[in-house]
Structure formats: C-alpha cells, structure tokens
Amino acid sequence: MMNYFPDEVLEHVFDSIASHKDRNSVSLVCKSWYRIERYSRRRVFIGNCYSISPERLIARFPGLKSLTLKGKPHFADFNLVPYDWGGFVYPWIKALAESGIGLEELRLKRMVVSDESLELLSKSFANFKSLVLVSCEGFSADGLAAVAANCRFLRELDLQENEVDDHRGHWLSCFPESCTSLVSLNFACLKGEVNLGALERLVSRSPNLKSLRLNRLVPLDTLQKLLMRAPQLVDLGIGSYVHDPSSEASNKLKHAIQRCKSIVSLSGFLEVAPRCMSAIYPICGNLTTLNLSYAPGLHGNKLTKLIQHCRKLQRLWILDRIGDKGLGVVASTCKELQELRVFPSDPFGAGNDAVTEEGLVLVSAGCPKLNSLLYFCQQMTNAALITVARNCPNFIRFRLCILDPVKPDPVTNQPLDEGFGAIVQSCKRLKRLSLSGLLTDQVFLYIGMYAEQLEMLSIAFAADSDKGMLYVLNGCKKLRKLEIRDCPFGNSALLEDVGKYETMRSLWMSSCEVTLGGCKTVAEKMPSLNVEIINESDQTEFNLDEGQKVDKMYLYRTLVGHRKDAPESVWIL
Amino acid sequence: MERSVAYENDLNFKATELRLGLPGTTDEEPAVSSVRNSKRPLQEDIEDEKCVANGNSESQNEPTAPPSKAQIVGWPPVQSYRKNNSQAKKIEFEFVSGIYVKVSMDGAPYLRKIDLKVYKGYTELLQALENMFKFTIGEYYERQGYKGSDYAPTYQDKDGDWMLVGDVPWKMFTTSCKRLRIMKGSEARGLGCCGA
C-alpha cells in the first residue's frame, strides 16, 4: 500500500513530524520509510555522545543540519565525575567538517569544548547559524572570538552556565561590521569585561535581536543604551543592576525599560540593589519567565513586591531566601505558574532563610497549573506531599531536595514513603522524579506500581535493601535514566535483569554495594553496554579483587563499543 | 541499670566519630578530603573546611547521627557552576547609605557629587567621570600615572593629602576618599613625574 505514494509525498508528510521520538518510530515502519526518513532528517538528538559515533551519524543522515549532543552523566554537575572523564566534542566537529555536511546548529550539554573545536567549527560550515553551549567547559574567549569572526550568518550564540576561561574581552569586537543577523546573544556566564563600544554597535546593527543576556561587568549606562537600541527584545538578562534610584541615570534607565514592551523573559540581576527594582515594574505585567536564582541580593519585601507585579508568570526560578511567606505571595499572584525552581542560597548554612513544606503547599494550592518543580528545602512532611499531590495532579517533573538527605517527616518522625507515594499515584504523567529525605523500600514499591510514565529517577541515601531497586527496574517500563548514590543496592539487584539496561540510556550507581565482580558480570552478559568503573583514589592500579566494592559505576548502551578516550581513572570492563 | 552506655567506661571514639556514610556502615574513608575531582578545588576546600568546623556541633543528641550535610561530597545536588557563582553575599548591595563625594574639575563652573558605592571599580568610576565632564582620562600606569591626556583624577584622603586615583585597591579607596578633583594641565602632568 505504501507504494502508492511517491517519495516526495512521504517526505512532505515527514517534514511535519518534528519530534525525535516520532521520527524514530517512522523510520522503523519499513525499508522505504527508513530510507526516505533518513534523507529528509534535519535534526538529530543524541543523549549520550558515546552511544554512537560521528561516522555512523553522518552515514545515516547526510542531510543533517542540527545536532544536539550530551556528554557527561548528570552527576558530573555535582563533582562526582572526574573532570577529564570525557565528552569531547572535537572528534564530532572534525568528522562533520570532513564529511561536507552543511551543519547549521550545534547544541551541546556537559561536553568538553576546546578552543580548537570552536575554531574548526567556525571555519568549516559556511551556513552555521546557532551555537548553544550548556554546562560545558574547556574553552576560552579565544574560541568565542573565532566563532564571532568567522560565522558570517550567525544567529545565535547562547552560553549557559559554562565555566569559561576568559581574561581577555576582545571576542565581542570580532563580530564583523557585516554581521547583522544576530537573534540571540547570551554571555551572562562570562567573567571578563567586554568591549562596551563593540557591544553597543553590535546591538545597533542587529535588528532581529530578540534575546540578550549580559554579564556582570556591563555597567548601567551601557545597559540603558542597549535597551534604547533594542526595544524589540523579548528576553533580557541584566548583569549588573546597581544604581541610585534618584539619579538621572536611573531615570534614563526607567525610560529605556518602559520602551521594551515585548520583554516576556527576564533574568540575571547578578548584582542588584533592591531599591532599584521599581524601575522594572512597568514590564513585570508581561513577564512569563523570571529567573532571579543568581540574585542573592534580592529578598524580603523588595522581592515580594516585584513578584506581585508579575501576574502572568509561567516560569519562576528563585532562591530560597524568598521564604514560605514569599511563596505565599507567588501563590496568590501567579495563577498561570507552570514551573517553579527554588534553589538554596546557602547550601551549607544554618538555613535562616529557607523554605519548608509550607511554602510548597501554598504554591500547590494557588497554582493549579504547576507541572514542573525543583525544590530545595529544610524539611518536608508526608501530609504536605499528600496535599500537594491532590492539588497538582499534573506534575511532569517533580524534584525535591531536602538539604539534610536522610531527614524524616519532622512532625511524625516517619519516612517520607507515603508522601512520595501520593505524588506518583496522583501524577499519572510524571516523567522525572528526584527523591530525598528518609526513605525505605516502600517508596520504591509505590514508584514501581504507579509511575508508569517515569523516564528519569534520581535516588540518594534511600532504601533498605535490593528490593528497592528491583521494584523500580521491574515496574517502570519507560525508565531511561536511573542515577543512584549512597544506597544499599548490591549485585543481586544489579544482575536481576541485565537486559533491562539495553532499554535505558544509562545507569549510574555510586557508593552503593555493587562489587567489581557484579559489574564484570553485567559487562560479560551485555556486550551492547559499556560498563565504566570510575576510581579516583590514588591507586595506580585497580584493585582486581572481585569482591571489592565499586565506588562509581556508569553503564550505558552503545552501538559502537568501548570508547578510546577514557582517562586513567576510568576502567571500561 | 542494665543499659549503661558504652562511653561511661571508655571514650568510645567510634560512636562520636564523624564519618561519611549512613549510620551502620563501616566506611573507613575520611570525611571530606578524599575526592578531589573538581576543577576548582580551592573553592571546595574553603567551603568544606568551613563546614567541617560547623559540622562538629551538629551530631549531638543521637549517637547514630546521620551524616552532617556539610560533609557529603556532591550534596546538596547543586550544580557546581551555580555554587561557584551565587555565593550568598554577606556584603549586601543595599543602598543603606551611599558614599557621596564632591567632584571638582579644574575650569568647570560648578562641582558635582557622585556616589562611590554605585561603582564596582576604577574603570566604571573613571568612565562615569569622563561622561559627566566630557573629557578623556587616558590610561593608568603604575609608575607614571595617567598618560595620554591633559587630565589626572586625584582625590583627597582622610589625612588631607591629594592622591592619584588608582594606586590603592578599590575598597580601600572608597573608604578613604573624601573628595575628588580632576586636575588639568601642567599640574596634572607634574603629579605623574615625581618620584615616590
């Protein structure tokens, strides 16, 4: 029946299928669909850069325009992975450059990006348009200078939370006068000065600029000039926001801000004088996204007053200095809220300003559309979680981090099994879950039973026995990523169903009870997995005793076998 | 009474020892200093040392105290970029009181006033002065002072002496500066040439 449609028609149909999952499914239908799909595929997402090689990617998708790659495992964010573990983008860029593929967009997360790679990138793809680097490292302002200078049609340079070595700020001046295509420029994570004149000129000649995020060292009068030149901005990240509200500079700024009627997303305030926030009020009514999580200077009344102006907010990232009362203000003001992230302002502090279960309950009651949560708090109770589950059955992402990792319900002194159980039972669409607090095997029984859509689970300091892990592996059919630290899960949980790991992207286990022998068994039985043992102690040789407990194990499915770029501290079984 | 606690007979270091790991485990590793896999060990060292000091007071009541959160590597799970870039500043950027100083410019008909607290460093201050009085200051050199223009920014300190702007660390400057004067012409050049 498929033969009735000429290829072009199928291609046209496939063009309207954007999601990676759907396109992958399409390619599995039959040989001719596979063929048509692969030639028409423009965007590819690779969640683990070691699961496939650049050569195979290029061979299958010769029409590739946009590539997304992720490198290090998630726990690398918390310093649990050696800095030289891997995730180098250079081989990918080199292979793509040599293949003649017309790459236009590259999005990287947790990868090592050298200046050399950026330079090669900038010189190899004539139509390159978009570079997005999230939580990457390994490059300096020199690499950025190459991108600025050579990518003639650059639309997007978006640097999010990267550790960049940038002492010299000349990279911004490397954008040629002919570059007028910028739509998005985000350099908030850079620590060095930039040439302010060059920045002003660049913004002036970029009529399509919609997103601009500045770093801490862009002074106020430059901000004001930039806003005057780019009133069409939709997304603004303010670096430094310190001024005297009664000064002329402040008035000029207020006027400039008011002209920006399209701003719906605001972030930054890396340095802030709270008294000055009133200049922002005129645009608050339009905001759908507000990220104040890097602004510890903003708290108390000034903060809540700001939030009271933001009635259309859908996404709010904030520090826990907002307090439970502040969250109450959020609850009564932001009725459209979908995503809330509350970060700890002082992770090791006594917790003077902090949030508890009360704030969360208030938000759940006031914001029925809430579907995504990241919440660092001092404590949590089962009763609160049960209430939250009832108020917000739409959670897709629910990540709760109680700062004391094994803290029970402070009211009843019970583990938090029932509370999290209520969450998974009520939130039928839950895809991502992070647990904390005192937890026994029971919570995992609930997760296995109810969390049918769960794709990613993060566990720390929980459970009593292997049963916990087994409940999850047996129950969560859609599980893709499982990351576990400091739990009493051993070989019998690990080895119960090794075939399961081929259906997942990856498994991380650190400070658990699995031994070298157990890991070796997995590697032997499943050649389609890379089983990596990470050992950072000073031993020059790995202790070969099979009974030795493994400090960190990271296993992932792959089509291309052992990687060749692992450092000394990583042993691939 | 049957239930005599062990520590009555011996010091029972084991029960009160601070360890990494849940109660009941016999992990021998030292609490904090073991894993150094961060690219920025210095920051972690400072924080960890601070926390070990705090941590000592936490496990008081229960002999099987859970690990103090301060001692655990990678906990709480906050991205290291975020940890490195949003320290809860103890020095708050509140405008409780500004540091207002008069600024005079040789040849200008009236003085101005600026708030030193608004600026983060010399670059910003000098840029602001340049904008205010419509002139250029030139480049700062440690030995010769400001080269490349007819002007030199100076300030009067607590002792009443006139000093060249830029010699001392910024914070020291803001606390000792009483007024500013932008010197012009021969007087300005003279300031740079004199030996220490």
Q: DSSP secondary structure string, B50-87?
A: HHHHHHTTT--S-TTPPPPGGGSTT-S---HHHHHH--
Q: Give chain A's mean pLDDT.
A: 93
pLDDT at B28: 43
CB A549 within 8 A of CB A515: yes
* Partner residue opposite A405 with nearest CB, options B69, B89, B131: B69
Residues 6+ apart with CB under 8 A from A336: A288, A311, A312, A313, A314, A367, A369
Which comes out higher in pLDDT, residue A72 or B151?
A72
pLDDT at B50: 41
* Secondary structure class of A24 (helix, strand, coil): helix
Question: Which residue of chain A is at minimal alpha-carbon distance from B78?
Answer: A78
Residue A404 burial (CB count, 10 A): 20
pTM of this structure: 0.78
* Partner residue opposite A406 with nearest CB, options B50, B66, B95: B66
User: What is the C-alpha separation between A469 and A96, in angstroms, rounded?
Assistant: 40
What does the pLDDT average to over A208-229? 94
The yes-or-no verdict on residue A40 having pLDDT over 80 is: yes
Task: Return residues 80-139 of B near A (CB < 8 Å).
Answer: 80-89, 92-95, 98, 115, 118, 120, 123-124, 127-128, 131
Report CB contact under 8 Å: B82, A79. no
- pLDDT band at residue A168 under the 50/70/90 scheme: low
* Partner residue opposite A79 with nearest CB, options B54, B73, B76: B73
* Partner residue opposite A347 with nearest CB, options B76, B115, B120: B76
CB A261 within 8 A of CB A234: no
> Which chain B residues are closer than 8 Å to A78 by Cβ?
74-75, 77-80
- For B71-93, what is each residue's pLDDT tens digit? 688 899 999 899 888 764 444 44
CB A441 within 8 A of CB A417: no
Chain B nearest CA to A313, separation (Å) = 23
- For A82-124, what is each residue's pLDDT tens digit? 989 999 999 999 999 999 999 999 999 999 999 999 999 999 9
User: What is the C-alpha separation between A443 and A424, in angstroms, rounded?
Assistant: 10
pLDDT at B19: 54
* Partner residue opposite A405 with nearest CB, options B54, B75, B120: B75
- For A296-342, what is each residue's pLDDT tens digit? 888 888 899 999 999 999 999 999 999 999 999 999 999 999 999 99
- For A518-551, what is each residue's pLDDT tens digit? 999 999 999 999 999 998 776 555 567 888 899 9
User: What is the C-alpha separation between A404 and A46, in angstroms, rounded?
Assistant: 35
Residue of B29, B95, B125 to mutate, interface with A, max A Cβ within 10 Å = B95
Residue of A72, A74, A75, A79 to mutate, interface with B, max B Cβ within 10 Å = A79
What does the pLDDT average to over B133-142? 79
Report CB contact under 8 Å: A348, B70. yes
Q: What share of chain A is helix, strand, coil (3-state, %, to 5)?
A: 35, 20, 45
Measured at the alpha carbon of residue A323, what is the angle toward residues A320 and A327, in degrees to the nearest 5?
100
The yes-or-no verdict on residue A50 having pLDDT over 50 is: yes
Interface contacts (A, B; CB < 8 Å): 135
ipTM: 0.88
Q: Could you give the C-alpha distances from A456 to A50, A243, A477, in angstroms and in order?
A: 19, 44, 11
- pLDDT band at residue A14 under the 50/70/90 scheme: confident
- For A468-500, what is each residue's pLDDT tens digit? 999 999 999 999 999 999 999 999 999 999 999
Report CB contact under 8 Å: B74, A511. no
Report CB contact under 8 Å: B79, A511. no
Which comes out higher in pLDDT, residue A415 or A220?
A415
The yes-or-no verdict on residue B65 having pLDDT over 90 is: no
> Which chain B residues are closer than 8 Å to A219 by Cβ?
120, 124, 127
- pLDDT band at residue B15 under the 50/70/90 scheme: low
CB A381 within 8 A of CB A404: no
- pLDDT band at residue A249 under the 50/70/90 scheme: confident
Least confident of A59-73, A184-198, A265-279, B117-131: B117-131
> Which chain B residues are closer than 8 Å to A242 by Cβ?
93, 118, 120
